[in-house]
């Protein structure tokens, strides 16, 4: 896995959150279910994100951005919000039943906030070329401000 294609990006103001992204087969996730399209393993201000290589590379720009931003949302939930999940309870259910848990609801809401602000431009998250874009502040991703 460590030799899998990927990149590292530092996000936010100091202390930055360092996110290393690897494109792997889901069988290589280890700590996450291989049924998922992505997996985030945050430890303090460092986070490993593993994405299903085929799902990511074959997705549309919007799908790729949502997937990557969702996993980055998990990283920021840990490093910036200290796992408070932006006070989400089950509000993420507006996205799907899977997103009804606070942790998944926050991550999906973060992905939609990112898409609303930056569009399908994943360059600020380290993927591809595109204009700069200031990432949404995870403190501003709240249940009363859901975007779809």
pTM given for the model: 0.95
Q: Which residues pair with 8 in a beta bridge?
A: 20
Q: How far apart are the C-alpha atoms of 148 and 145, rounded to whole Å? A: 10
Neighbours of 57 (CB within 10 A): 11
What is the model's pLDDT at position 147? 73
Flag whether pLDDT at 1 surpasses 80. no
- For CA atoms 27, 35, 135, 106, the dihedral sign is negative
pLDDT per position as a tens digit, 68-98: 999 999 999 999 999 999 999 999 999 999 9
Secondary structure letter of residue 148 according to DSSP: -
If you average pLDDT over residues 15-43, what whole number do you get?
Answer: 95
The domain ranges of the chain are 6-145
Helix 61-79 and helix 102-118, axial crossing angle in degrees, nearest 10:
120
């Amino acid at each position: 896995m460590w030799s899998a294609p990927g990149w590292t990006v530092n996000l936010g103001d100091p202390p930055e959150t360092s996110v290393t992204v690897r494109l792997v087969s889901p069988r290589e996730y280890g700590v996450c279910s291989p049924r998922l399209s992505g997996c985030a393993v945050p430890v303090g201000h460092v986070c490993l994100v593993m994405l299903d290589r085929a799902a990511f590379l074959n997705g549309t720009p919007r799908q790729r951005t949502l997937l990557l931003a969702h996993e980055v949302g998990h990283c920021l939930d840990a490093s910036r919000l200290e796992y408070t999940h932006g006070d989400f309870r089950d509000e993420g259910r507006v996205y799907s039943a899977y997103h009804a848990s606070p942790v998944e609801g926050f991550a999906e809401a973060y992905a939609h906030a990112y898409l609303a602000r930056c569009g399908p431009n994943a360059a600020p998250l380290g993927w591809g070329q595109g204009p700069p874009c200031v990432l949404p502040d995870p403190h501003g991703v709240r249940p009363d401000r859901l975007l779809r």
